[in-house]
Amino acid sequence: MDGIGDSESFLAAYDPRAYDPIAVTVDVVALTIRDAQLQVLLVRRGEQPQAGSWALPGGFVRPLIGPDGERTEEDLAQTAARELAEEAGPQLRATHLEQLGSYGTPGRDPRMRVVSVAYLAFAPEMPEATPGTDAADAQWVPVSALGLSPTGGPVTRSVTQRPGTTRPLAFDHAQILAAGVERARAKLEYTPLATAFVREPFTISDLREVYETVWAEKLHAGNFHRKVLSVPGFVESTGDQTESGGPRGGPRAKLYRRGDATLLHPALLRPTSEEAARP
Amino acid sequence: MDGIGDSESFLAAYDPRAYDPIAVTVDVVALTIRDAQLQVLLVRRGEQPQAGSWALPGGFVRPLIGPDGERTEEDLAQTAARELAEEAGPQLRATHLEQLGSYGTPGRDPRMRVVSVAYLAFAPEMPEATPGTDAADAQWVPVSALGLSPTGGPVTRSVTQRPGTTRPLAFDHAQILAAGVERARAKLEYTPLATAFVREPFTISDLREVYETVWAEKLHAGNFHRKVLSVPGFVESTGDQTESGGPRGGPRAKLYRRGDATLLHPALLRPTSEEAARP
DNA sequence: TTAATAGTGTCTTTGAGACATTATACT
DNA sequence: AGTATAATGTCTCAAAGACACTATTAA
């Protein structure tokens, strides 16, 4: 239950400040597709512990002190959105934000008990994070460069930050990132969220590139095309087409915007999803 | 990111006890099937606020003080398992426990900022919660009796606790419960978790009753039977069969145990899952 | 002219679902 | 006997995937 326990004595004895406090943070796994790669927004830690390591953007949940000194409190999702805007620059407008999970294993932060509520954000392709702002230390990094183990367990490889300088992700952020990537892969199957990675209007090929990049699988262009158009409400034609053909030739493509479906029926299943089902 | 922010000044200024503390609780949505109904374990709140209301079992996350006075800390999932054992009695052995989500909207608890990490548990049919123990105030309640709105929003109907006494769920627990039920329904489609609601060995009909109860849909017995056996690793034959036929006749059924699959391929989709896809 | 791409057509196989059928066991 | 259930068989339709093909555009 929330709040107080079952016994009156506990209520009487309970003083929130008498216990070791538990800190609550919000961390964000922000994914985008840049250079035909799935990339995640990371920030450089300037402070101990793990100074110099890359970490997920995020921060403590605490009351905000306004200019008038008045205090307001944010929803957890609002906190996630604000952290993202602060650390990636205001030009990042995530098209999707959902809760990923919470991480509270004792010892995951060496200073105190910290429970992190992780959020997952999808954004269309972004220009480089702008140095000179709050986001000076933020950078998009290809997920493949992080060498995640499938389980998100201990990371053996690491980020190449500058020539000769590599470090693994701070805390248990590799595990959180792995969970975010897997969630993204699964959600492309059953939801129209692939459209959150592209700007409108988009072509069916744009959408296929999203699937191929996130799933790390080549898809059959013809079958994919017919499949997307056959799912009710996935995409909606604008009536227009691209100004020109592709960079290496080909006809001009029809343009689409997001449809009104919230789930894909039938779903677009991953080609290899079968192998993962058995031990 | 976890822990301290980007600026040195913040580190210097930060004293965890200087801020209004945030409490972290763990709440459990424990589901089972009793009397051919989906039921949830609820406890009666003895204290204010919301004294007398039904609530999800749960409690604060805080260090445990052992008999020697030494302190140990639990993982969030361990906390959930312990709360469940304390409030439902030790004979409840949940066969599945997973994190459901976290709820931290300001004001959801009138006393202070509380972030609740909700867990979802599945258990096979249990005897009535044992009065006279810690679980004296715990009770299995049919989910259908709680009149959940589809979104988990404000509840209009309420629990009939004793003749003439009805109350809605405390705090935002109706919303958490609704999320748990929807998660359970979805998970039956893609995972073998229906087996977590039955004891081994079980018959295909036992499994079908689980699906019919959780989904609140009648399924075609013949097609269901063939389908379950066609999914690799869903169930595994024991070679035995039931001692006798059903209560109203029929042949004796073959017995099965859980298979080794972690995902169902192909999935067992809900008959009506299509309608929910469009607004 | 060559190559690459958008979009469509066709065929095969798999699976879902409706329905029928047989055998078994309870009343 | 009559009825309910377990388990299997058959048929139809939808959908996935492999492959072919045409039309269009860039280099």
Spell out the per-residue pLDDT of chain A, length 279, in tens: 444 343 333 433 444 444 567 899 999 999 999 999 999 999 988 777 887 889 999 999 977 666 777 777 889 999 999 999 888 877 788 999 999 999 999 989 988 899 999 999 999 987 665 555 555 688 899 999 987 665 544 444 445 444 334 468 989 999 999 999 999 999 999 999 999 999 999 999 999 999 999 999 999 999 999 999 999 999 999 999 999 999 999 999 999 999 999 999 999 999 976 666 777
Q: Is residue A26 part of a domain?
A: yes
**A7 C-beta less than 7 Å away from strand C:** no
Same domain as A123, residue A256: no
Same domain as B198, residue B171: no
Same domain as B202, residue B163: no
Q: Is residue B88 part of a domain?
A: yes
Q: Which A residues, 58 through 117, put their C-beta within 8 Å of a C-beta on chain B? A: 58-63, 73-76, 99, 101-102, 104-109, 111-117
Q: Could you say which of A6, A57, A106 has the minimum Cβ distance to residue B1?
A: A57
Instruction: Quote the number of domains for chain A.
Output: 2
pLDDT for position A167: 61
d(CA A113, CA A68): 32
Structural domain ending residue among the three candidates B164, B187, B210:
B187
pLDDT for position B240: 97
Residue B151: pLDDT band (50, 70, 90) is: low
Structural domain ending residue among the three candidates B122, B155, B187:
B187
pLDDT for position B130: 58
Protein-covered nucleotides on strand C (Cβ within 7 A): 2-9, 15-21, 23-27
Q: Could you say which of B2, B59, B170 has the minimum Cβ distance to residue A109?
A: B2
Q: Is residue B12 part of a domain?
A: no
Q: Is residue B159 part of a domain?
A: yes
d(CA B174, CA B185): 16
pLDDT(B94) > 60: yes
Same domain as A132, residue A43: yes
> Pick the residue with more confidence: A70 or B104?
B104
> Pick the residue with more confidence: B250 or B159?
B250
Q: Which domain holds residue A129?
A: 21-187
Same domain as A45, residue A81: yes
Q: Tell me: the pLDDT tens digits for B120-147?
A: 999 998 766 555 555 568 889 999 998 7
Q: Which B residues, 48 through 67, put their C-beta within 8 Å of a C-beta on chain A? A: 49, 55-63
**A249 C-beta less than 7 Å away from strand C:** yes
Question: Which of B 209-268 have CB under 7 A of nucleic chain C?
Answer: 220, 222-223, 227, 230, 244-252, 266-268
HEC string of chain B equals CCCCCCCHHHHHHCCHHHCCCCEEEEEEEEEEEECCEEEEEEEECCCCCCCCCEECCEEECCCEECCCCCEECCCHHHHHHHHHHHHHCCCCCCCEEEEEEEECCCCCCCCCCEEEEEEEEECCCCCCCCCCCHHHHEEEEEHHHHCCCCCCCCCCCCEEEECCEEECECCCHHHHHHHHHHHHHHHHHHCCHHHHHCCCCECHHHHHHHHHHHHCCCCCHHHHHHHHHHCCCCEEEEEEECCCCCCCCCCCCEEEEECCCCCCCCCCCCCCCCHHHCC
Same domain as B263, residue B165: no
pLDDT for position B150: 55
**A265 C-beta less than 7 Å away from strand C:** no
Same domain as A97, residue A73: yes
Structural domain ending residue among the three candidates A159, A187, A215:
A187
Q: Is residue A10 part of a domain?
A: no
Please answer whether residues A26 and A116 qualify as being in contact, where contact means their C-beta atoms are separated by less than 8 angstroms.
Answer: yes
Same domain as B39, residue B153: yes
pLDDT(B16) > 50: no
pLDDT for position A278: 75
pLDDT(B9) > 90: no
* Cβ contacts of B91-95, under 8 Å, gap ≥ 24: B91/B126, B91/B127, B91/B130, B92/B30, B92/B41, B92/B123, B92/B126, B93/B123, B94/B30, B94/B121, B94/B122, B94/B123, B94/B196, B95/B122, B95/B123, B95/B124, B95/B195, B95/B196, B95/B197
Q: Is residue A9 part of a domain?
A: no
Same domain as A180, residue A43: yes
Which residues of A fall within a CB distance of 8 Å from B233? Answer: 277-278
Mean pLDDT of B86-97: 86
Mean pLDDT of B220-225: 98
pLDDT(B172) > 70: yes
> Pick the residue with more confidence: A269 or B154?
A269
Same domain as A259, residue A169: no
Q: How many angstroms separate the CA of residue B249 from the nearest CA in chain A?
A: 37
Q: How many angstroms separate the CA of residue A249 from the nearest CA in chain B?
A: 37
Same domain as B38, residue B107: yes
| pTM greater than 0.85 (yes/no) | yes
Q: Is residue A244 part of a domain?
A: yes
Same domain as A246, residue A205: yes
pLDDT(B162) > 70: no
Q: Which A residues, 7 through 46, put their C-beta within 8 Å of a C-beta on chain B? A: 7-8, 11, 16-17, 19-25, 27, 43, 45-46
Provide the CATH number for the domain around residue A113: 3.90.79.10
Provide the CATH number for the domain around residue A216: 1.10.10.10
Q: Is residue B14 part of a domain?
A: no
Q: Tell me: the pLDDT tens digits for A135-156?
A: 568 889 999 998 766 554 444 4
